[in-house]
Amino acid sequence: MKKTIYSLIAILVISACSNNSGSGGPGVPAKPLEDQLSEAKSATDFTSTILPEKFTVVKADLSYEEQKEKYGIGCKTPGVPSWEPYKIDPGLRPGLMFTTKEGRSELLDRDTIQTVEKTVTQIEGQKIVTELNYLEVSFSGTVFSTIDQVFTRKPHITITSTYKEGATGSDFNVVANYTQSALEYIQNHSNDNLYLSCSVAYGTEVSSRSVDKINYLMNGQNVLAFLSRDSHSGEVTCSRKKSGSSNEEEKVSLGRGTEQSITISSNSLISDSTINCGGTELFRMDKIVLDSGKIVKSSVTKILSAPLR
C-alpha cells in the first residue's frame, strides 16, 4: 500500500518531537541508543486490535500459476506483476469517498492511531484534488486533546496530486487549515527530525510466503481478494536516522527476530489515486518481533470503506 501523504502530515503535527526517549532534560546527556532500546517496553501490538473484515478461503496455498489471476487490472501484461508508470484509476471520479484506519507503534515512539475520510473533488487529466478530514487521531502525550485544536475548519487538508504522464513520480501540493497553535508547534519542532528505523536482515535465516484466494467482506458484500503472508527471520537491527538523509546516527543489534507481513488486495475496489498492478490493498499489517517476544514495531492499515467497481 502506497504511503499516504496525510499519514505523514498527521505524524508531523500530532507526534512531533515524540521520539525523544532517553533525554534526561537540560544538561543531562541522553542514554546510548542500545540502553534506550533495551529498557523500552514492547511496542503496542496493533495487529491484534485492528483486524481485517470477515473472509472465507476459496483456495489456500495457490501455486505460482494460480497467483497470476491476481495480476489483471493495471498490469502491462495480464498475469505478470509489473511496476508501471502512474495512471489514474479509470473508475475514479469526483464525489467518491474513502475511509482508512491506521495504527502504528515502534520502540521509543508514541503510538499513532488515526481514521481519515478522503473525498475526491476534482480530476483533470493527470491531476487529482482530494479533501481529507480526520475522524479519529491519537493525542496521548502531546499538547493537543481534540482535532479542533489542530485544524480550524473542514476540509482539514486539501491535496492536489499531479501524476506525470509516463513517469513513476508525482508532485503534491498541500493546503492544511491548521490552527495558530498547531502551526507554532510545527515551527518549534521543525528540527526534531530524528527517527528510528528497524529491520530484519534478509537471506540469513528462514523465510516463507503463501497466497490464498479469498472472499472478503467489503461494503456489506463479498469481493474476490488475495491474502498474502510473508515471514522471514534473521538479525534485527535498529538505527537512528535523520529525516531526508540516509546516514545512520547510531546502529544497534537487538538479536534474532522475525518480520511478519499480511496483505489483502483486490481488483474489485477502485483505487483512491493511481491503479495498481495486483489490486488495491484492503488491509496490510507488518510486525517485527524478537525471539524473546518483545515487539519492536507493528503497523496496520485498513480500508474501512471504498467504492467497488
Residues 6+ apart with CB under 8 A from 3: none
Grid cell of 17 as nine digits: 518531537
Burial state string for 243-267 with b = 16 or more CB within 10 A and e = fewer than 16: eeeeeeeeebebebbbbbbbbbbbb
Domain ranges across the chain:
5-19+31-305
pLDDT at residue number 183: 87
* Residue 14 confidence (pLDDT): 46
DSSP of 147-202, one letter per residue? Answer: GGGTBSSSSSEEEEEEE-TT-S-EEEEEEE-B-HHHHHHHHHTTT--EEEEEEE-T
pLDDT of residue 190: 65
Per-residue CA distances from 249 to 29, 65, 136, 200 (Å): 16, 45, 33, 18
pTM over 0.75: yes
Percent of the chain at pLDDT above 90?
A: 57
Residue 15 has pLDDT above 50, yes or no: no
pLDDT tens profile 191-250? 666 778 899 987 656 678 999 999 999 988 999 999 999 999 999 999 987 766 666 678
Please say if the pLDDT value at position 64 is more than 80: yes
What is the average pLDDT value for the chain, to the nearest integer?
Answer: 85
CB burial readout 86-110, b (16+ within 10 A) else e: bebbeebeeebebbbbbbbbbbbbb
Give the pLDDT of residue 39.
92
